[in-house]
Every structure is written in C-alpha cells, then in structure tokens.
Amino acid sequence: MTAMSPTPETLAPEPEGKAANGLQAWLPTVRDTALAILLALIVGAVLIAISDEDVINSLEDLFAHPGSFFVYAGDVVRHSFGAVFDAYKALLDGAFGSGSALRRTLERSAPLICAGLGVALAFRAGLFNIGAQGQMLVGALAAGYVGFTFDMPPVIHLGAALAAALIASSLWGGIVGLLKARTGAHEVITTIMLNFVGRFTVLYFLAKESFQRPGSDNLLSPPVDDDATFPTVFGLHLGIPLAILAAGGVWWLLERSRLGFEMRAVGANPEAARTAGMSIGKVYVLTMAITGALSGLAISMTVLGLHQSITDQVVGSVGFDAITVALLGRATPHGTVLAGLLFGALSAGGLGMQTQAGVPPELINVVQALIVLFVAAPALVRGLARLERRKKKADKAKAARTGQEVAA
C-alpha cells in the first residue's frame, strides 16, 4: 500500500461554522489589544502630566507649604490635563493632521510592516527571528550597490535593485534556517550573531572606494540613481502598496498553501509534523529564507523609496521594532499591518509631541513599551478592566443553563 503525502485537506478537520467561530475567536483578542493600548495611553498620560514643567514647579509647594499646595491643587490638575491634551493632540496632528503627516506615517509604517511580517512568519513556524536587523543591512548593501553602480533603463534598474535586496536578505536568512536544520543551532543565537556580522560586513564594504561617496571620507555610499527608485504617486512612493501586497501574500502562504500548512504544523508540534511525513529541515530553511526576503523588502522602502544612502545606521531600529510589531499583531498578517500602522503613527506623531508640546521624545518609546507590556499580559488587562470576573459569571450562567437542559 502506497503511503500518501499529508495535505491540509487530509490532516485538518473540517470546521463547522468557520466564519462565525473565527469572528467569535477574534473578538476577545481585539478587545484585549484595544484595552492594552488604552491602558498604555492612560499610563503615558500620567507620565506626561507629571513631567510637565508647570506641574513640577507647583509640586514644590507640596513640601514647602502643604496648605497652600492644596489650595492651588486645582491649578495643578488643570496643568496636568492641559499637558496631556496638548501632547496627544500633537501626536494626532503629527501622525494624521495633514497630508505630509499622513505620508510620513505611511513611510515609517511600511518597513515595520514588511519586517514585522517576516518575524510573524517565523513565529508561526516555531522560530524566533531576531535577525531582521542584519538581514536588512545586507539587503541595503546589495540594493544600494546595484542602484548606484549600474546604468540600466528605469524599470529594469528598479527591478534589479529590488531583486538584489530580496535575494541577499533571503540568503542571509536562509543561513539561519540551514544551521537550524543541519546542526540544531538555536536561531536566537545565530540571528543575533549574524546581526553583528551583517553590520561589520557593511562597514567593511563602505570602506572600499567602490562604495564610498565621491569627495567624502565618511563611511557613506552615494544615493541610488533616480532610475532605481520607486516612482511616487500623490507624494507616496509605490513601495508602500507593496507592503500591503506582501501582507496579502503572507496570508495566502499561511492559510492557503501547502508550505504554509507545513509551517503551521511544524510550529505547533515539530515531532507530530515529522511523524506525518513533513521535512522539518526544509520548512526551517524556506521559512527563514522567506523571512529574509521580507526584511529585504523592508529596507528597500528606505534605500529605494526614500532615496537614502547606505551607512551602518541606515536600518535604524526597524529590525528590532519589527519584533514588537509582530508580537502586538499576534503573529498574524492583518494584525501585523495594524500594529505597523500604529507604531508608524506613534513614530511620526512623536516628532509633533516634541516640537509642539515639548514632550521628551523618550516618552513615546515608553508608550510603545507599555503597549507591548500590556499586550503580553492579557490576564492583567482583563483583571484591570474587570472582564475576568464578568467572564466567570458568564461561564457559570452558561453551565447552569446546560445543567438545566440536561436535567430536562
């Protein structure tokens, strides 16, 4: 008797009421995430309030003249609310208040979405990818070199530079998968180490004459040629729609393809997947290669979209922020897109908070960290919102109704 290869149809049970059940399953997650963001903003509001200069000055009277302080306590409260209102208004204005603000938000969101998709995809296969930073650096090096060295027709030049970024980053990520498959090397260790290797590889090449900007002694490459950049429509470069298309592609890969089914199976239980006849090593290598390609797409938004030169700092903190975005997005494509847009808005709006409201830029990082903290602790969020108690009451009521039906 010939053994049949496992397929999603043969291994996965047929769902009943899939659409309704899927919606019901997502509602608690959406609720918990929204509450986590709300709580983070509330805590951030407290921090903004107590960091306001007028509030700090008024608090000096609390120890010097306690009686006078409580007389003027209303002024303190008004100063606090005013500082918070001004800060969050500046945040919204900086992120969505104008066409340029919205464009800045989308430009900052697109790399986060692409890199976050790569991290989320690795999560679904049971891998923890910390290497988006190194993968993006190598992709930037490849895209930039093709972009400023060769002379090609516009569309071909852009395609070649983009392909160079995807291939270089994919190969860099594939090394991690290969090491995991052949030697069992833990991907957290190898990706962290390859981040350092990627950075110093970029520094090595930037010291070469072929990568240096003419007339400059700094480790700075020339910008890519105009023919190798993404065209713009209404001020937005077309790399941004690519990020949304990438999210759709990742969703199709995970939910509709055989490889995606194998990724999810390996991520859920590698031993069961191996028993079912799946190649664990192949899944690891392909997953990390695709993850690397998504990181290459992310850095193309900067090098080919924003026309930036290559330095060892060209990636910024996007590679590490992508981990946060994937966690906030619950390792799902649509969740990652929403999380990327949120963090892009926080990043773009943080500049407005600093310039318009005088809020220290570090506070926006605190708010981001608080969001992740609360998202990572849903039980805490539900407890603070008294939802856990309501859930228990609902479960008891449901059990009572079930008991009555059985008795009848």
Residue 327 within a domain: yes
pLDDT (tens digit per residue) in 55-94: 666 666 666 666 555 555 566 566 667 778 888 888 888 8
- Judged against a pLDDT cut of 90, whether residue 284 lies above it is answered with yes
Q: And the tokens for 289? A: 């290669």
Give the chain's domain count: 2
CB contact burial 309-347 (16+ within 10 A = b; e otherwise): bbbbebbeebbebbbbbbbbbbbbbebbbbbbbbbbbbb
pLDDT (tens digit per residue) in 249-277: 999 999 999 999 999 999 999 999 999 99
pTM: 0.82
Same domain, 267 and 389: no
Q: Which of 343, 369, 389 is the last residue of a domain?
A: 343
Mean pLDDT of the chain: 83
Same domain, 46 and 133: no
Same domain, 76 and 118: no
Cα distances from 80 to residues 47, 84, 93, in angstroms, run 10, 6, 20
Mean pLDDT across 113-133: 95
- Judged against a pLDDT cut of 70, whether residue 294 lies above it is answered with yes
**What is the total residue count of the chain?**
408
Q: Which residues make Cβ contacts (< 8 Å) with residue 37, sequence separation at least 6?
A: 342, 371, 374
Same domain, 191 and 332: yes
For residue 37, what is the enclosing H or E element?
helix 18-51
Residue (of 5, 28, 4) closest to 379 by Cα position = 28
Residue 4 within a domain: no
Residue 170 within a domain: yes
Same domain, 171 and 41: no
What three-state secondary structure class fits 261?
helix
Cα 319 from Cα 302, distance rounded (Å):
13
Which band of pLDDT confidence, cut at 50, 70 and 90, is reported for residue 19? very low
Residue 83 within a domain: yes
Contact yes or no for 222/284 (Cβ under 8 A): no
Q: Work out the burial of residue 170: count CB atoms within 10 Å of its CB; fewer than 13 is exposed, 13-18 middle, 19 or more buried.
A: buried
Same domain, 319 and 393: no
Calculate what percentage of the chain has a pLDDT beyond 70. 80
Same domain, 76 and 185: no
pLDDT value for 75: 62
Q: Is 126 left (phi over 0), alpha (psi -120 to 50) or beta?
A: left
Domain that holds residue 145: 102-343
pLDDT value for 375: 76
Calculate what percentage of the chain has a pLDDT beyond 90. 49
Same domain, 71 and 184: no
Same domain, 272 and 200: yes
